[in-house]
Chain A
Amino acid sequence: MAKFKMHLLVCGGTGCNASRSQEIAANLKSSLKDNGLENEVQVILTGCFGFCEKGPIVKVMPDNTFYTEVKPEDAIEIIMEHVVKGRKVTRLLYTDPENKQHVADSKHMGFYKKQMRIALRNCGYIDPQNIEEYIGADGYTALAKCLGEMTPEQVINEIKLSGLRGRGGGGFPTGLKWEIASKNHADQKYVVCNADEGDPGAFMDRSILEGDPHTVLEAMAINGFAIGATKGLIYIRAEYPLAINRLLVAIDQAHEYGLLGENILGSGFNFDIELRYGAGAFVCGEETALIHSMEGQRGEPTFKPPFPAQSGYNKKPTNVNNVETYANIPIIITKGANWFNKIGTEKSKGTKVFALAGQINNVGLIEVPMGITLREIIFEIGGGIKGGREFKAVQTGGPSGGCLTNKHLDTPIDYDNLIAAGSMMGSGGMVVMDETSCMVAIAKFYLEFTVEESCGKCSPCRIGNKRLHEILEKITKGNGTMEDLDTLTNLGRVIKDTALCGLGQTSPNPVLSTIENFYDEYLEHIKDKKCRAGVCKSLMQYVIDQEQCVGCTACARNCPVNAISGEKKMPHFINTELCIKCGACIEKCKFNAISIC
């Protein structure tokens, strides 16, 4: 077979897919054919590149040209210019926001410079639907090494030595978890992959499953070998159709190639993987609830112990790990624990994938070594705050996490430092906020989520969070008292101490951490009845500046509730009792005469 001189990698992640990347790939292929180049240039639909802000992405290899915001119509130009004539299509290149210059290749992009891609190593590099490409990228070598050269104890020791900790939330040492499961004897054991990614804004697990499904299958088989299980289950939410589809393709291929099933690689080891679909309940990310849901029961957590390692799925010893944790396993086996444990900080080894979202320039998926600072993530990789506004806070760990502020910008990020700062790693959501975000409203938003998603089994979570939410509602309406603030803190601490599962115990974190870090803002809401960010509608008033208003009547004509009155060519007034604070008048005013105070 002739070797392809050039590879065009088109992002096939959910985000880029929605922006018609399938069509881009199809157009590239047909244009190549028109030019008789179909045997010289290969088009591959890959997993997520992470730079979702500027998607869809088309990357040209080997010269690393990185085209952003590509439209299906641009395909012909890319082929005619870049492929045929060798000239880069400048208008599609990434523009450095600082010096406004085009960046020709991804190695020079600020977004990628500080990243270290271990779990995401194959995302945006191989075709996820082609097991051969995964094998070519060192895939299944780790499984072969385990089956051929290592004993289960050695595998567990290697993982223990690597210092890998669970990437799904609490950060429990993975090797230890495996060891406990391996020591429990039973006729059947289970390996479960937790792909019930529920944190708002987090999508790293989905991206790994979409971009590199085989790595998860391989890691689960290794896990099975290590603890003596022959059956693997992936619990995935039904809202991830693309990930499910790619997993099914991957499982079929692995069977076909003999890398799953019976007598894998002639070793006598049998392992099989099935999918279980979740209906998308947040609590099912908690391992005991997840197991109950897989058994067909209500997705409610139960008290630990017994831990799943003792009595899990069908009352058999079960090891549950998260997708990102699994994505680290094969490379630890091939490169060795001593390679992995040199990356990161003393107690948190390796890298972490974060989903950057919010008021930040480069929204997307990033993977960085543990110990990197928030400043590096937000200002170097993330490209700073949108619109040049002031950084205010970053929310990490989703509904279980808290808000970090300016004073944490230079703290090295790892499991323990985040907990010390009143937040947590969680699954790695990172929502960046600027001065236009109200911290009380943010806390209320997360509580709304928790109240909605609470399974209702234990009263601290079911009733306590509801009360927290009501008090926050009261404060944002301008009816809060200083006593409420004390109640919030006390109640929050009680929930933390008494809720049944990990999710309940961490649910007051958004409230407690914002009170801790933004006490002034709570005070303003309660005492001055003011919301400095202009988010809490009840605390705002729209006013027309009598000097600036020329009486054009544009605002009055557009007010949906007729709250604005005034003579033509005379200053207008807003009746604050009628005003619903929709902001329509501000949008229509050409003279900047309307302001919020």
Chain B
Amino acid sequence: MTKIKSLADLKAMKQSVQEKIDTRAKGKAEGLVQVKIAMATCGIAAGAKNVMDYMMSETEKRGMDVVFTQTGCMGYCHAEPTIEVTLPGKEPIVFGYVDLKKADEIIDKYIKDGELVEGIIPVNYEKINN
């Protein structure tokens, strides 16, 4: 078993564990980018799961703090996979037909710089709460 013999050992362990409990820590934090991925039957069938995995690992690789949650059907079954991205202090924006390439573009442009990309679905309903 790993014994912690020095401060460096402690730091190394802290870092490796932090990655594991990161999902929880993000829920606690305020002001992070939120990405919701529609993962109903239609979404999963269209590959939403791969998109979520890809986006989670990519954002992490690029050192970005993003909270990923899966939600139910957003109602845009024609445009699956769909994701909703909320930048802190901004209105949520829904993107449709998100494949891995599109996901990459969204991470790179919208999440990183706030620059809009093609594929936005106009929001056609109001939500009563979040």
Minimum-distance CB pairs A-B, first 6: A136-B17, A62-B27, A87-B72, A61-B27, A86-B72, A258-B3
Beta-carbon contact of B13 and A85 below 8 Å:
no
Q: How far is the CB of A200 from chain B (nearest CB, A)?
A: 33
Beta-carbon contact of A62 and B26 below 8 Å:
yes
Identify which of A5, A61, A138, A141 contacts B52 (C-beta below 8 A).
A5
A104 at the interface (CB under 8 A from B): yes
Q: How far is the CB of A105 from chain B (nearest CB, A)?
A: 8
Beta-carbon contact of A144 and B72 below 8 Å:
no
Tell me the bound Cα distance from A140 to B3 in angstroms.
14
Q: How far is the CB of B87 from chain A (nearest CB, A)?
A: 16
Beta-carbon contact of B39 and A4 below 8 Å:
no
Tell me the bound Cα distance from A529 to B104 in angstroms.
80
A591 at the interface (CB under 8 A from B): no
B93 at the interface (CB under 8 A from A): no
A563 at the interface (CB under 8 A from B): no
A38 at the interface (CB under 8 A from B): no
**Which residue on B lies nearest to A88, using beta carbons?**
B72
Q: Which residues of chain B in 5-36 are interfacial with respect to chain A, using CB atoms and an 8 Å cutoff?
A: 5-7, 9-10, 13-14, 17-28
B117 at the interface (CB under 8 A from A): no
Q: Which residues of chain A in 134-150 are interfacial with respect to chain B, using CB atoms and an 8 Å cutoff?
A: 135-138, 140-141, 144, 148
Beta-carbon contact of B20 and A136 below 8 Å:
yes
Beta-carbon contact of B3 and A257 below 8 Å:
yes
Interface digits, A125-139 against B, CB 8 Å rule (1 contact, 0 not)?
A: 110000011011110
Please give, as numbers and ranges, the residues of chain A lying within 8 Å of B26 by CB-CB distance: 61-62
A28 at the interface (CB under 8 A from B): no
B67 at the interface (CB under 8 A from A): yes
Chain A residues within CB distance 8 Å of chain B: 1, 3-7, 9, 61-64, 85-87, 101, 104-105, 108, 125-126, 132-133, 135-138, 140-141, 144, 148, 256-259, 265-266
Interface digits, B106-128 against A, CB 8 Å rule (1 contact, 0 not)?
A: 00000000000000000000000
Beta-carbon contact of B70 and A7 below 8 Å:
no
Tell me what chain B mostly uses at the interface: helix, strand, loop, or mixed.
helix
Please give, as numbers and ranges, the residues of chain A lying within 8 Å of B10 by CB-CB distance: 135, 140-141, 144, 265
Q: How far is the CB of A106 from chain B (nearest CB, A)?
A: 9
Q: A5-B23, A144-B7 are in contact. Are A85 and B39 (CB under 8 A)?
A: yes
Beta-carbon contact of B3 and A61 below 8 Å:
no
Q: List 15 A-B contacts (CB under 8 A).
A: A4-B23, A61-B27, A62-B23, A63-B27, A63-B69, A85-B39, A85-B72, A86-B40, A87-B71, A133-B21, A135-B13, A135-B17, A136-B18, A141-B10, A258-B5
Number of B positions contacting A (CB below 8 A): 40
**Which residue on A lies nearest to B27, using beta carbons?**
A62
Chain B residues within CB distance 8 Å of chain A: 1-7, 9-10, 13-14, 17-28, 38-41, 52, 56-57, 60, 67-73, 129-130
Other A-B contacts than A132-B17, A136-B14, A265-B6, 4 sampled, CB-CB below 8 A, are A3-B23, A62-B26, A86-B71, A265-B9
Beta-carbon contact of B24 and A265 below 8 Å:
no
**Which residue on A lies nearest to B66, using beta carbons?**
A62
Tell me the bound Cα distance from A85 to B37 in angstroms.
11
Beta-carbon contact of B68 and A5 below 8 Å:
yes
Tell me the bound Cα distance from A384 to B20 in angstroms.
39
Beta-carbon contact of A62 and B67 below 8 Å:
yes
Tell me the bound Cα distance from A265 to B9 in angstroms.
9
Please give, as numbers and ranges, the residues of chain A lying within 8 Å of B70 by CB-CB distance: 5-6, 86
Beta-carbon contact of A266 and B5 below 8 Å:
yes
Beta-carbon contact of A265 and B129 below 8 Å:
no
**Which residue on B lies nearest to A106, using beta carbons?**
B27
Beta-carbon contact of A6 and B39 below 8 Å:
no
Q: How far is the CB of B50 from chain A (nearest CB, A)?
A: 13
Q: A136-B14, A258-B4 are in contact. Are A3 and B20 (CB under 8 A)?
A: yes
Tell me the bound Cα distance from A136 to B13 in angstroms.
8
**Which residue on B lies nearest to A83, using beta carbons?**
B70
Please give, as numbers and ranges, the residues of chain B lying within 8 Å of A257 by CB-CB distance: 1-4
Tell me the bound Cα distance from A5 to B24 in angstroms.
9
Please give, as numbers and ranges, the residues of chain A lying within 8 Å of B6 by CB-CB distance: 265-266
Please give, as numbers and ranges, the residues of chain A lying within 8 Å of B20 by CB-CB distance: 1, 3-4, 132, 136
Please give, as numbers and ranges, the residues of chain B lying within 8 Å of A105 by CB-CB distance: 130
Please give, as numbers and ranges, the residues of chain B lying within 8 Å of A265 by CB-CB distance: 4-7, 9-10
Q: How far is the CB of A131 from chain B (nearest CB, A)?
A: 9
Tell me the bound Cα distance from A265 to B10 in angstroms.
8
Q: How far is the CB of B6 from chain A (nearest CB, A)?
A: 5
Beta-carbon contact of B4 and A6 below 8 Å:
no
Beta-carbon contact of A104 and B7 below 8 Å:
no
Please give, as numbers and ranges, the residues of chain B lying within 8 Å of A3 by CB-CB distance: 19-20, 22-23, 56-57, 60
Q: A126-B21, A135-B13, A136-B14 are in contact. Are A86 and B3 (CB under 8 A)?
A: no
Q: How far is the CB of A100 from chain B (nearest CB, A)?
A: 13
